[in-house]
Structure 1
Amino acid sequence: MSASGGTKAILAALTANAGIAVAKFAGFLITGSSSMLAESVHSVADTSNQGLLLLGQRQARRRATREHPFGFGRERYFWSFVVALMLFTLGSVFALYEGIHKIEHPEPLTSPLVAVGILVVAIGLETYSFVTAIGESRKIKGDATWWQFIRQSRTPELPVVLLEDTGALLGLVFALIGVGLSEVTGEPVWDGIGTVMIGVLLGIIAIILIVEMKSLLIGEGATDRELDSICAALTGGRVDRVIHIRTQYLGPDELLVAAKLALAPRLELSEVAGEIDAAEARVRERVPSARLIYLEPDLDRQLV
């Protein structure tokens, strides 16, 4: 997948979160709601996160150098990992701290209807961002479930934005419940409980993202479907079978393929070169992300 779909989802999320952060912080200043403060910090973190994802895409486009001969595609994985850490530290930890403090020292809310109005508007803006991310993800998700897409996607930005938007929407609902119950019952402790729920939610999402981005940073190979397609493409002509194969994603759009191929015996050198070139061409046709292909010919010793 090109970065265009991910960029569109990131820009939609950045625009929505920037506006929401300003509105939420204004709501906190008016109402004193800890849920609003936690959501304000959450939106500021999300806005910063989208900026980091855009930075990662920009850095990944740099040309390969002698020091980094395979390019900078993994910059996108690195900055997505940083985003997950920020979501945990700025979002989850702060919300948990503020929520526990508000439970231990509850304070009545002022102008709770203002908070409710801001939260409702924020839900609308987050829904716009979420729908955009869903639309862009559908283009590459295929028949996988959403959980499989998040776990298996080699494109980091869309799963990050999807989970962030999911967390933002649920967090807004928790904040709305906390503020609403505080007003209905006259017990401001509910505002603190809503804040703790936001912190727990963000922590879960952050841990999922940290685990997935760490796996991509270490290096993940082709999916089972891609690997089957590559092996089928390599076999053909005078290539009898694939002796062994290794793959690794150097970036979301760049797959490294290294394989040892068993060729028919008694081929001339020019014929061997032709078979290797043809095998590379077949792989590139079936799996466009296979940009770097290194093939080692060998005799099919089963036929010698």
Structure 2
Amino acid sequence: MRTILTIYFLTLSIKLVAYSFSGVTAVLADALHSIVDIVLLILLATASKASERRADRLHPMGHGLLKNVASLAISVAFITVLAFELFKEGINKILNPVKSYPNLEVALFSELLVLGLLLLATVLYWRSKGIVNRTVMFESFNDSLSTLAAIFGIIAISFGHNIFDGIATIVIATLIAINSIRLFFENARFVIGLSPPEEFYSEVEKFCISKGIKGVHDMLALYMDENSIHLDMHVTVEKNMSVGDADELIENLTEELKKKFPQIKHVSVHLCSHFGDKRKIY
């Protein structure tokens, strides 16, 4: 995380210097996009660290969803504030284009340098796993697109098409909005109670039956975070099973389920003598 933040702070500094020399709004928009990414990564890293706290009485399932809640808050803030303001500024630049821009070569060189750094960051995190690392990779790629838009805007301005400052600004605002919307929906599904796909339930049922369970029903599984599932289920056993045998069965089944399905972190098994529907949906 330190490496990527160093790259982002460096690119932000370069963009701000380029804007101070040229006054190109698209470069400023690109710099604001970097600020968005820096804030996002810092908050995600902080939330990710906080989510590792042990479960307590108020949060018996842990704090895994903190990362998703933080991402939701960030996405809403960026959609409603930054993207909207950039849209307004871009439209203003189209309707009232600036007559001339100084030091465009400085702005162009700076943005090309930034693009190289961002592509490096994208490559570094290309195959990384986890919500934070995936976000870093996606943000680096998305920021690269933003920088490309600024570069094309600068080139168009250098040929006398000053209206492209506003157009490039709107393109960057659109990229920020799209990214924020994606971030919102990606995390909202976990917060509102995302269940694993049907294949997960079928695999669990098949595994339990292979261990001598007569049937599995009223299964309910929810993600506690992107890599953690809480599973609640009823299993059908013989009516005359003793309490001791039942306890041993539950203990063994729970351990074997966690070994077979590493994403299952919590399991609640209820014994009964009847059969029922596989899924439990309230």
Same topology, TM > 0.5 = yes
Specify the alignment match of 2:105 in structure 1.
113
1:208 Cα deviation from its structure 2 partner: 1.6
1:229 Cα deviation from its structure 2 partner: 3.0
One-letter amino acid matched to 2:189: S
Distance 1:213 1:237, change over 3 A: closer
Q: Give SS of 1:247's match.
A: strand
**CA separation in 2, counterparts of 1:94 and 1:23?**
22
Specify the alignment match of 1:297 in structure 2.
271
What's the CA shift string for 1:222-267, capped at 9, x where partnerless? 2444333322332233311211200111123321100011113432
Specify the alignment match of 1:252 in structure 2.
226
Specify the alignment match of 1:103 in structure 2.
94
Which of 169, 173, 183 lines up with 2:144 in the alignment? 169
Which of 74, 84, 92 lines up with 1:83 in the alignment? 74
Specify every segment of 5 or more residues in structure 2 that has no aligned partner in the other structure, as ranges: 277-282
Count of matched residue pairs: 275
Q: Give SS of 1:106's match.
A: coil
One-letter amino acid matched to 1:201: L
Specify the alignment match of 1:146 in structure 2.
none
Specify the alignment match of 2:247 in structure 1.
273
Specify the alignment match of 2:279 in structure 1.
none
**CA separation in 2, counterparts of 1:42 and 1:281?**
47
One-letter amino acid matched to 2:138: L
**CA separation in 1, counterparts of 2:4 and 2:84?**
22
Distance 1:127 1:45, change over 3 A: same
Which of 258, 262, 267 lines up with 2:236 in the alignment? 262
Specify the alignment match of 2:116 in structure 1.
124
Matched, 1:42 2:33: yes
**CA separation in 1, counterparts of 2:3 and 2:76?**
22
Kindly indicate whether the alpha-carbon contact (under 8 Å) linking 2:119 and 2:141 is maintained by their aligned counterparts in 1.
Answer: no
1:164 Cα deviation from its structure 2 partner: 2.0
1:66 Cα deviation from its structure 2 partner: 1.6
**CA separation in 1, counterparts of 2:73 and 2:120?**
25
Which of 174, 194, 205 lines up with 2:179 in the alignment? 205
1:75 Cα deviation from its structure 2 partner: 0.7
1:177 Cα deviation from its structure 2 partner: 0.6
Overall identity of the aligned pairs, in %: 20
Q: Quick check: 218-227 or 167-176, which moved more? A: 218-227
Q: Give SS of 1:136's match.
A: coil
**CA separation in 1, counterparts of 2:266 and 2:213?**
19
Distance 1:159 1:226, change over 3 A: farther
Q: Give SS of 1:166's match.
A: helix
Kindly indicate whether the alpha-carbon contact (under 8 Å) linking 1:234 and 1:280 is maintained by their aligned counterparts in 2.
Answer: no
Matched ranges for 1:123-162 at <5 A:
123-137=115-129, 155-162=130-137
Specify every segment of 5 or more residues in structure 1 that has no aligned partner in the other structure, as ranges: 1-9, 138-154
Kindly indicate whether the alpha-carbon contact (under 8 Å) linking 1:99 and 1:193 is maintained by their aligned counterparts in 2.
Answer: yes
Distance 1:227 1:118, change over 3 A: farther
Specify the alignment match of 1:21 in structure 2.
12
Kindly indicate whether the alpha-carbon contact (under 8 Å) linking 1:239 and 1:264 is maintained by their aligned counterparts in 2.
Answer: no
One-letter amino acid matched to 1:80: S
Distance 1:301 1:190, change over 3 A: closer
**CA separation in 2, counterparts of 1:225 and 1:158?**
26
Q: Give SS of 1:134's match.
A: coil
1:166 Cα deviation from its structure 2 partner: 2.7
Instruction: Say what the alpha-carbon RMSD is for the aligned residues.
Output: 1.9
**CA separation in 2, counterparts of 1:100 and 1:245?**
53
Matched, 1:62 2:53: yes
Specify the alignment match of 2:280 in structure 1.
none
1:85 Cα deviation from its structure 2 partner: 2.5
1:218 Cα deviation from its structure 2 partner: 1.1
Matched ranges for 1:3-18 at <5 A:
10-18=1-9
